[in-house]
């Protein structure tokens, strides 16, 4: 099996034209029984290389962040500015512990430290955009080659192999984001920054398809259920029920829509909708029913879900140091905190033991924070006037 050198995916450039030609030749060589294995492995190798390049740039940005803070400390010490030295030293210690930077500087942070944090976010965001553009180009060219393979297989009467090629196309692309938003009754303008979409149409198995083709879910234990008014859904009720996803690091700026059925079942523990890990939850309902965020401690939105009955759309917007909540397109309080850690699990705590205790019919996640008007518009397009 021919593999392209890692250099074609390293750094800031898209792989050269000869690499695409080699990939096309590889894909169109349909002779072995497992004709998709080689092309798929080659595609995944390059995709992982692009992800590795991003992580290396993120690590380099972290090193630069520490070096800049250390230089800032030296300047402040020379100027006799003790007020700024201690926070900078504390930030270096904290960053070395978990390698994450708050999306917005905490209240009381010296201005210069805040500017250093903003610079770090700008570098990481640019690197992530570059990686996503590379992966998109790689996927588009792979899909184009696969479509040619599918047509040849059909012409040769190899119906089953053609169907396998079509499934691979769906796996990689999930259709264009614009077509996807249209199928979900959403305007095309919401195609931008769409990260993942789960509609839980699967009747069995562990794999939950992400309709964008980017991050398929790995289901643990949750049971499929059917409702005439909503169609497919999954119940997350037992201690180990959850859907794991490839880590989503959106740096504290994201928008989530979840179609969920209420009331939730009672629990002596918090009920977690979206989690990074133990006591680090982006969306959680506490034991008395209040929506909020847990990032070391629980921060309530002031809204209780106990009075909700039937199916409702829960919208969550993380922005700076606040997490805003909406029910059916209308504001439902705000928690003055965010959990900026990567997202790992839907329907439970990543550590288990904190299931949502309810049913979920769909999940949509965007990078970036939407406005109140946009949340209202999204609900109106999908379900009518709230």
Q: What is the pLDDT along the chain (386 residues), one digit of tens a residue?
A: 333 344 333 444 445 555 555 555 455 444 433 567 777 788 888 988 998 999 999 999 999 999 999 999 998 889 887 777 888 888 888 888 877 776 666 666 778 888 888 888 889 889 988 998 898 888 888 888 888 888 888 888 887 777 777 777 766 765 556 666 666 778 888 887 888 899 998 877 888 988 887 788 999 999 999 887 788 899 999 999 999 998 787 767 899 999 999 999 999 999 999 999 988 999 999 999 999 999 989 999 999 999 999 999 999 999 878 999 999 999 999 999 999 888 999 999 998 999 999 999 999 999 899 999 999 999 998 888 76
Whether 377 is in a domain gets the answer yes
Is the same domain home to 239 and 369? yes
Q: Which of 141, 170, 199 is the last residue of a domain?
A: 170
Q: Among 150, 170, 190, which residue terminates a domain?
A: 170
- How is residue 230 annotated by DSSP? T
pLDDT number for residue 146: 83
User: What pLDDT is attached to residue 104?
Assistant: 63
- Looking at the fold, whether 115 and 213 belong to one and the same domain comes out as no
The answer on 317 and 244 residing in a single domain is yes
299 within some domain: yes
DSSP-H helix ranges across 156-272: 159-173, 177-183
Q: How far apart are CA 311 and CA 324, in angstroms?
A: 20
Instruction: Report the distance separating Cα 225 and Cα 108, nearest Å.
Output: 49
Query: What is the pLDDT at residue 177?
Result: 63
Same domain, 38 and 60: yes
- Biggest CA–CA distance in the chain, Å, is 81
Asked whether residue 184 falls in the same domain as residue 306, the answer is yes
What pLDDT is stored for residue 287 in this prediction? Answer: 96
Number of residues that make up the chain:
386
Would you state the pLDDT for residue 328? 97
Whether 258 is covered by a domain: the verdict is yes
Q: Are residues 276 and 182 in the same domain?
A: yes
Output the domain CATH number for residue 332: 2.60.120.200
For residue 162, what are its two tokens?
């053609």
Residue 352 belongs to a domain: yes
Residue 51 lies in a domain: yes
Q: Residue 311: its pLDDT value, please?
A: 95
Domain contains 28? yes
Show which of 154, 170, 186 is a domain's final residue: 170
Q: How far apart are the first and last CA of the chain?
A: 56
Structural domain including 234 reads: 178-383
Instruction: Specify whether 287 is located in the same domain as 150.
Output: no
Same domain, 139 and 226: no
125 with 242, same domain: the answer is no
Rounded to an integer, what distance in angstroms lies between the CA atom of residue 251 and that of residue 33? Answer: 44
Measured CA angle at 56 (ends 50, 59), to 5 deg: 145
Omega into 231 within 30° of 0, i.e. cis? no
Q: Which residue has the tokens 């430290």?
A: 113
Q: What is the DSSP letter of 223?
A: E
Q: 343 and 242 in one domain?
A: yes
Structure tokens at 299: 């921060």
Total domains in the chain come to 2
For residue 313, is it within any domain?
yes
Does residue 366 share a domain with residue 251? yes
Both structure tokens of 289: 């029913």
If DSSP states are collapsed to H, E and C, what string results for the chain?
CCCCCHHHCCCCCCCCHHHHHHHHHHHHCCCCCCCCHHHHHHHHHHHHHHHHHHHHHHHHHHHHHHHHHHHHHHHHHHCCCHHHHHHHHHHHHHHHHHCCCCCCCCCCCCHHHHHHHHHHHHHHHHHHHHHHHHHHHHHHHHHHHHHHHHHHHHHCCCHHHHHHHHHHHHHHHCCCHHHHHHHCCCCHHHHCCEEEEECCCCCCCCEECCCCCCCCEEEECCEEEEECCCEEEEEECCCCCEEEEEEECCCCCEEEEEEEEECCCCCCCCEEEEEEECCEEEEEECCCCEEEEEECCEEEEEEECCCCCEEEEEEEEEECCEEEEEECCEEEEEECCCCCCCEEEECCCCCCCCCCCEEEEEEEEEECCCCHHHHHHHHHHHHCCC
Report the pLDDT value the prediction gives residue 97, as an integer from 0 to 100: 80
Structure tokens at 168: 């691979």
Rounded CA-CA distance 354/298 in Å is 14
Whether residues 153 and 255 fall in one domain: no
Does residue 1 lie in a domain region? no
What pLDDT shows up at residue 70?
Answer: 93
């Amino acid at each position: 099996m021919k593999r392209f050198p890692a250099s074609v995916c390293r750094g800031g450039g898209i792989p050269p034209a000869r690499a695409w030609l080699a990939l096309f030749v590889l894909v169109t060589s349909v002779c072995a029984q497992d004709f998709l294995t080689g092309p798929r492995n080659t595609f995944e190798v390059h995709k992982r290389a692009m992800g590795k390049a991003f992580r290396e740039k993120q690590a380099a940005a972290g090193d630069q962040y520490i070096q800049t803070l250390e230089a800032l400390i030296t300047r402040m010490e020379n100027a006799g500015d003790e007020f700024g030295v201690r926070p900078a030293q504390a930030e270096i210690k904290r960053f070395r512990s978990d390698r994450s930077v708050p999306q917005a500087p905490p209240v009381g942070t010296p201005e210069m430290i805040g500017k250093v944090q903003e610079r770090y976010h700008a570098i990481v965001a640019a690197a992530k955009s570059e990686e996503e553009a590379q992966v998109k180009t790689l996927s588009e060219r792979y899909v184009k080659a696969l479509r040619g393979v599918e047509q040849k297989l059909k012409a040769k009467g190899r119906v089953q192999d053609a169907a396998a090629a079509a499934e691979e196309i769906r796996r990689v692309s999930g259709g264009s984001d614009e077509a996807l938003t249209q199928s979900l009754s959403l305007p095309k303008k919401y195609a931008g920054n769409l990260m993942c979409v789960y509609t839980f149409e699967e009747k069995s198995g562990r794999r939950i398809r992400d309709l964008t083709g980017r991050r398929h879910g790995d289901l643990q234990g949750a049971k499929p259920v059917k409702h005439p008014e909503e169609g497919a859904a999954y119940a997350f009720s037992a201690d180990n029920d959850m859907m794991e996803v490839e880590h989503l690091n959106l740096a504290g700026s994201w928008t989530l829509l979840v179609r969920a059925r209420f009331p939730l079942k009672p629990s002596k523990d918090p009920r977690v909708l979206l989690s990074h890990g133990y006591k680090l939850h982006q969306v959680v309902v506490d034991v008395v029913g209040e929506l909020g965020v847990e990032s070391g401690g629980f921060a309530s939105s002031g809204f209780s879900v106990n009075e909700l009955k039937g199916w409702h759309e829960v919208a969550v917007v993380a922005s700076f140091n606040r997490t805003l909540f909406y029910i059916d397109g209308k504001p439902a309080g705000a928690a003055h905190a965010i959990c900026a850690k990567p997202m790992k699990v839907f329907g439970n705590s990543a550590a288990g033991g904190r299931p949502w205790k309810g049913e979920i019919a769909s999940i949509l996640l965007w990078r970036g924070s939407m406005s109140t008007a946009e949340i209202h518009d999204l609900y109106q397009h999908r379900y009518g006037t709230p």
